[in-house]
Structure 1
């Protein structure tokens, strides 16, 4: 019995990749994608069929040159998601354009568009998670989308304020980024690379897990962005763990017994009063790491989206 098989007994394993071969190999329950992974996928020769189909779709749909580029981009995102869904029993996470991260209405419109594309291909909305950055505007968008049975995955989550606001808005799932928190502490010389205990990224998820279960919030916690398998093992028992193929391979290569680290509390309490918008913004602003990593993540995802659109623009 290897560590990956044992880990599957404690947490739902999700593949953090758009590579279908890796998904077939490791047999995860769900899969997550993001603009960086989509860009990486379309640059591969074996995925050129997705670009061709997207270009044909965009040209047939018509509209302005800009509209065609956007429609082709959305089509690639959905078609890759559909291809992945054929290999897994659970959810695919598909991300909304990061440039909409501070506009609730645009997030809602894009989410509906992506869901419609999935449903036009015979995929139920109940198998799709719309990924949004964990800004106040996106959290409110997720709350509204839930009323239409559109489930959301709130990503780029770094602060406890973000986690609280998501739970209080009945968001379906959150993705706290363990590795990027760890990266920030390393970059600030606040943590040594030789450190082997529960680093700040791991402790952040532990705190969120304890809080959610203590107050019986239904929002699913999917820890993400791991840098090493020790971070993963410290979070065994978390609702879901989304793991890159490199670390899935490492887990599969190690035999041995692992223990469940996160467990449910004995006592469940009534939840506290929800954060207001100004309280959320203040609490989040107090966390320098979270402010830096959220803005950086949005910028980088938007850059990858723009790079994808440049590739498509040359073909339209």
Structure 2
């Protein structure tokens, strides 16, 4: 009997939002594999039945390679290098269960520096070449937080034929800027990141409509190559409402629930694909009228989006004012959470490597 996961795969490319190779093998195959600092930390924190870190060999090997690389550059600390290597090492294990991109996220602490983000991305590509020389670099996509600086980094990387994904995206302002930069993908977050860290918290305004509006906008741009990857989902209902979005990245728990639910008897079948239907209806009704609503796609709204991406000051103000500032607040929250987890990943390195001083390493000489 066909399941909801089977049905979803006929409507969207299904990506796995995990670095758990066993889960990917069980529930795959998938198109892409997405990850971030939080997903990497959760995986690296897992213990074997004997209570020892499951990935102790990967951690040790990553630190060893980081020591070798550390003296050859001045751009990253020893801990940062080791974290990058661990994240790449985990991602490589997902390659047999995917046909498309392996997405690796840059250090969120560089979210407001285009140059540091570009350098970070190029290091990640270099790590893949070193750890998996037979893996095609064309299958690597670099995830970068959707700040102005982050998306300018995407612009530069795309010119170098390095694929990028603008992540933690909460507005059409970010969507338009990412499209103008030539990003391969964008990842609108349906729920703000906090929902995955605070079990008592729910997002009062999940951005299902944004996913549909972003795809509608991108499809209407001549020559656009940017794809939507809907992310940060919390329920089967949200996943199925997004059916038809080009890519949907889904956690193992939701994938398992989708795989266990018969499609024929699912009681909310009428909601399947609702996000795209709403976007199409909204665009049709908007006509040429003006609205400050973030997801409205009238002619004047489109002209505004195309104008602000050419001017940093205009774009920053437009993003600040979008949805009364909600998108900007959610982006800053996501960067803070990811930065906190980056600190936790670096602490894993310090605990595992007694040669690293408590204050952390500094750039090489």
User: Which moved further from structure 2: 115-124 or 14-23?
Assistant: 115-124
User: Which moved further from structure 2: 275-284 or 138-147?
Assistant: 275-284
What residue in structure 2 maps to residue 280 of structure 1?
A: 315
Residue number among 22, 39, 42 corresponding to 2:41 in the alignment: 39
1:52 is aligned to 2:63: no
| Bigger Cα Rg | 2
Residue number among 82, 96, 108 corresponding to 2:118 in the alignment: 108
What residue in structure 1 maps to residue 356 of structure 2?
A: none
Residue number among 247, 251, 263 corresponding to 1:244 in the alignment: 251
What residue in structure 2 maps to residue 126 of structure 1?
A: 138
What residue in structure 1 maps to residue 95 of structure 2?
A: 85
TM-score, with normalisation over the residues of structure 1? 0.89
Give the root-mean-square deviation of aligned CA atoms: 2.8
8 Å CA contact 1:102–1:138 kept in 2: the answer is yes
Residue number among 29, 32, 51 corresponding to 1:30 in the alignment: 32
Question: Number of residue pairs matched?
Answer: 306
What residue in structure 2 maps to residue 176 of structure 1?
A: 188
TM-score, with normalisation over the residues of structure 2? 0.77
What residue in structure 2 maps to residue 14 of structure 1?
A: 15
1:219 is aligned to 2:226: yes
1:155 is aligned to 2:190: no
User: Which moved further from structure 2: 161-170 or 200-209?
Assistant: 200-209
What residue in structure 2 maps to residue 303 of structure 1?
A: 340
Unmatched segments (≥5 aa) in structure 1? 192-198
1-side partners of 2:98 and 2:23: how far apart? 12
Over 3 Å counting, the alpha-carbon distance change for 1:43 and 1:209 in structure 2 is same
2-side partners of 1:285 and 1:38: how far apart? 31
2-side partners of 1:243 and 1:172: how far apart? 19
1-side partners of 2:203 and 2:348: how far apart? 40
2-side partners of 1:274 and 1:143: how far apart? 17
Over 3 Å counting, the alpha-carbon distance change for 1:293 and 1:6 in structure 2 is same
The CA deviation at 1:12 is 0.4
1-side partners of 2:193 and 2:238: how far apart? 12
The CA deviation at 1:147 is 1.1
Q: Deviations over 1:215-274 (max 9, x none)?
A: 343210000001111111111110100001111111111112555453797x9xx98544
The CA deviation at 1:25 is 1.1
Over 3 Å counting, the alpha-carbon distance change for 1:46 and 1:240 in structure 2 is same
8 Å CA contact 1:182–1:201 kept in 2: the answer is no
8 Å CA contact 2:215–2:227 kept in 1: the answer is no
- Tell me the secondary structure at the aligned position of residue 86 of structure 1: helix
Q: Deviations over 1:161-215 (max 9, x none)?
A: 11111112111100000022896xxx99995xxxxxxx64111112112211223
- Tell me the secondary structure at the aligned position of residue 308 of structure 1: helix
Unmatched segments (≥5 aa) in structure 2? 47-52, 285-298, 354-365
2-side partners of 1:36 and 1:101: how far apart? 16
1-side partners of 2:144 and 2:203: how far apart? 29
8 Å CA contact 1:168–1:274 kept in 2: the answer is no
2-side partners of 1:71 and 1:190: how far apart? 34
Over 3 Å counting, the alpha-carbon distance change for 1:188 and 1:80 in structure 2 is closer
